[in-house]
Chains A and B, each alone.
Chain A
Amino acid sequence: MSVEIARTSQQVKGHGFYRALVLRRQLILLALTLALALSFCIDLALGPARFSLGEVMAALASPDAVSQQARVILWEIRMPVALMALVVGASLSIAGAQMQTILSNPLASPFTLGISAGASFGAALALAFGVVIVPAAVEYVVPINAFVMAMVTAFLIHAMSLRRGVTIETIVLLGIAMVFIFNSLMALIQFFSSQQAVAAVVFWTMGSLTKATWPKFWVALTVLVAVLPLLARHGWALTAMRLGDTKAESMGVNPRALRLEVMVLVSLLAAIAVAFVGTIGFIGLVGPHIARMLVGEDQRFFLPGSALCGALILSIGSVLSKIILPGTVIPIGIITSLVGIPFFLFLILNHKKASW
């Protein structure tokens, strides 16, 4: 009898602990969402014409209630940029999170795997020499070039990873090799192009949200919304991948097939994001690490957590890019690295638990 009672109380304890853990994580995700909403509103309010948060809320609630000038500024000019920050941040962070998961490597991200560098090279070809890989409207030549080269890089890495003797550890090295190759090619392009073209290439590689427009936002959002459920479907299997291939296999996961599918999906996410806003290297690496510290690696929380962290970092970056030098919008890629990396180091050095 007493044994029975002891067992029952222990089971309640097990349940209780887990339920509390789940509740805590749900609250963290809620807090991130609220912070994101706040940052988004501040992002809308800031700019050459400043609005109060109340005016922004009013304009969001009913666009007709505010002046036409406010409506145009908030809805037509700032909204696509602010929304693009959210979608691009979420996309890059999810891409990094799943790259780190399937490659079991804390350094994996769209940037370190060469996908961003590939995109920059594609963009530079268009900006410097007018090379058009896929014919399209003038506005889309640069992003399409960037997208194609980003996907080519992802497939090159995948093709190389299929060779015998290439381990998942080697894949990140292959990615870094791609970064160096593309950087050299970029230097070569800049060497042979006009000063004006060099300036355009350099500005593009800095990463800037000001390239955002409504149509670009809808494309990026559609890809994100399409990819998310496909990743969520593999939630348990992806979580198992973090215990290593052998363990995952023993739980019925096929690591090779999963790695291929997820790599294609996240390359698509990263390529679209980079193609539209340029190189923003920091989010894909750091977004997932912050999410991991906050909600752990159960994909049911890690996936939305990564998306929210990425979106929040980029949204805050967008806010900072407007207020650091009043009157100037500093390219977001510079802000996220300059402000974000010290913050990230602070988190890592002060985090009590190991986070990788």
Chain B
Amino acid sequence: MVTLQLDRLSARYGRRQILAEISTPRFEGGRVVALLGPNAAGKSTLFRRIFGLLKGGGEVRITGAASERPVAYMPQDTGVNAVLTVYESVLMARMQGRSLKVRPEDLAKVDQALDELGISPLGARDIGDISGGQRQLVSAAQALVQEPEILLLDEPTSALDLNRQISLLTILRRLAREREMLIMVALHDLGHALRFTDEAMVLQNGQLIACGSTAEVVTPELLHRVYRVAARIEPCSKGRPQLIVEESV
């Protein structure tokens, strides 16, 4: 099973230190890890550093990976104006680093990724013609079609309506379990983090200030300290932890 551990990981843009010596316990495949923190905490930078797009001190330790490229990364959404259909854009994500010849199994994987995320009907649409939320699901399909063992998702729900947020996170959690895939997902909705993730790590000003099981990490004290809001966490009628935000402080 694949595992991921960060050991004193740091990153800088020019002279500015963005991440300072981030060390985590070992995260295992099959788990969903929430990456939390306010704006500009360094979440995207951490993803880029783990994915290898940024150099810096420390080490990203991946063990037990079966493939050469075990990590896929879905960056935050940006608009596109390419003249490509959704189907082609997902196929292209799968074919990177491969020959120009598309095999039937490649098409089957594209079908599967689109199907899993419920966006098969979008296949023939132009990527520039779909909504921001749909584009985000297509981005998720582009990451999934690479068959990663570790999947890094940078705010995959930011443009989705409530229904699609819940459905995407449910699908991701199921896929993590089924494929023993480790998913690390940056989220702003702590309620979603409580409900859909197993572990959480919290960044603030480029430093890791909490890491552990989500239920233990997401507490009223943390919310006060990091997000500067007064909040309670209470079980709902079904026993699930419910986040109730009262006011900003």
User: Contact residues of A with B, CB < 8 Å?
Assistant: 7, 10-11, 13-15, 17-18, 21, 232, 235-237, 239-240, 242-244, 246-247, 249-253, 292-293, 296-298, 300, 353-356
Contact A353 B75 (CB under 8 A): no
**B162 at the A interface (CB under 8 A):** no
Contacts A11-B108, A243-B89 known; A237 to B96 CB distance under 8 Å? yes
For the complex, give the distance between the alpha carbons of A274 and B97 in Å: 34
Contact between B111 and A236, CB atoms less than 8 A apart: no
Q: A11-B115, A18-B107 are in contact. Are A296 and B85 (CB under 8 A)?
A: yes
Picked from B51, B84, B110, B127, the residue with its CB within 8 Å of the CB of A250 is B51
A54 to B102: give the CA distance in the assembly, Å: 41
Number of A-B contacts (CB under 8 A): 109
With A10-B120, A237-B96, A239-B84 in contact, do A246 and B75 touch (Cβ < 8 Å)?
yes
Which residues of B have CB within 8 Å of A15? 104, 107-108, 111
- Chain A residue with minimal CB distance to B84? A297
Bound: A293/B83 CA distance, A: 8
Q: A11-B111, A11-B112, A247-B80 are in contact. Are A236 and B95 (CB under 8 A)?
A: yes
Measured between alpha carbons, how far is A252 from B76 in the docked complex, in Å? 16
Residues 118 to 152 of chain B near chain A (Cβ within 8 Å): 120, 123-124, 126-129, 139, 142-143, 146
Given contact pairs A18-B107, A247-B78, A253-B96, A297 touches B123 in the complex (Cβ within 8 A): no
Supposing A13-B120, A17-B87, A236-B92 touch, asked if A243 and B100 sit within 8 A by C-beta, the answer is: no
Which residues of chain A are within 8 angstroms of B76 by Cβ–Cβ distance? 246
Q: B16: which A residues are within 8 A, CB to CB?
A: none
Q: Which residues of B contact A243 (CB under 8 A)?
A: 78, 80, 82, 89, 127
Decide: B74 and A296 in contact? CB cutoff 8 A: no
Partner of B82, one of A232, A242, A251: A242
Are B115 and A297 in contact, CB atoms less than 8 angstroms apart? no
In the complex, are the beta carbons of B80 and A244 less than 8 A apart?
yes
B194 in the interface (beta carbon within 8 A): no
Chain A residues whose CB sits within 8 angstroms of the CB of B82 once the complex forms = 239, 242-243, 297
Please give the number of chain B residues whose Cβ is less than 8 angstroms from any Cβ of chain A in the complex.
45
Interface flag for B184 (CB, 8 Å) = no
Q: Could you say which residues of chain B place their CB within 8 Å of the CB of A247?
A: 75, 78, 80, 139, 142
- B114 at the binding interface (Cβ < 8 Å): yes
**Does B159 lie at the interface of the complex (its beta carbon under 8 Å from any beta carbon of A)?**
no
B237 at the interface (CB under 8 A from A): no
| Chain B residue with Cβ nearest A298 | B88
A344 to chain B, nearest CB (A): 16
Q: When the two chains form the complex, which single residue of B123, B128, B142 contacts A251, counting CB atoms closer than 8 Å?
A: B142
Taking a contact as CB atoms under 8 Å apart, the answer to whether A240 and B96 are in contact is yes
The residue that B111 contacts in the complex, of A10, A239, A297, with Cβ under 8 A, is A10
* Option from B53, B84, B115, B124 in Cβ contact (under 8 Å) with A7: B115
- Chain A residue nearest to B82 in the complex (CB): A242
